[in-house]
Amino acid sequence: MSDRASLERGLAAMGIDLPESAHDKLVAYAALLAKWNKVYNLTAIRDPGQMMSHHLFDALSVLPHLAGVTQLADVGSGGGLPGIPLAIARPDMSVTSIETVNKKATFQQQAKIELKLANFEPVCARVEEVRCESGFDGIISRAFSELADFIRLTAHLLAPGGRFYAMKGVYPHEEIERLPDGFVVVEAIELVVPALDAHRHLIIIERSADA
């Protein structure tokens, strides 16, 4: 099955309807990631079919849960995941990708140029050193760190009323128990990712009302 056919089947299974132009860019991104991965080791996954399921579908599975987000920060994004697929799917949403490893940030910059992603901005820096005056109404991470560390390292970037979106595998009971004071889980969503036989959860966290 071609990457295009695989993408369209996966999007249909998730109930995600995107324009043809987005399909084109998603397929192009997958090809670019596979090409650069041969030299720069951006991801351990080499198989093109797994690249689609483990990366693109996994990233896009959170899309329905970001409906109200307009300014998204993607922390520890590696090869641009989930930030680049989300930026492609949501051209109305500004996505800032924060990555400490220079070669990965360089790849993201190249993807921004080649895919013409005006709403995507890669930043090569440690997240605790990044500043944003207005803040982000959404901060997302995909296997970045334990929840407590994710919150502590990025809380200064969260706008009033904003939310953290932590993409996890199995439900992280113990990590949730270790959340810093002043932060609460408001929703935990079991994600279904086509062609991926693994547990996936989206943990949504807010500042508590009395924080």
Q: Residues annotated as binding site for S-adenosyl-L-methionine?
A: 76, 81, 127-128, 142
Helix ranges restricted to H, 15-156: 20-40, 48-50, 58-60, 83-89, 102-115, 147-154
Phi, psi of 20 (to 5 degrees): -60, -35
Are the C-beta atoms of 123 and 99 separated by less than 8 Å? yes
- Detail the residues annotated as belonging to a binding site: 76, 81, 127-128, 142
Are the C-beta atoms of 99 and 76 separated by less than 8 Å? yes
Are the C-beta atoms of 159 and 69 separated by less than 8 Å? no
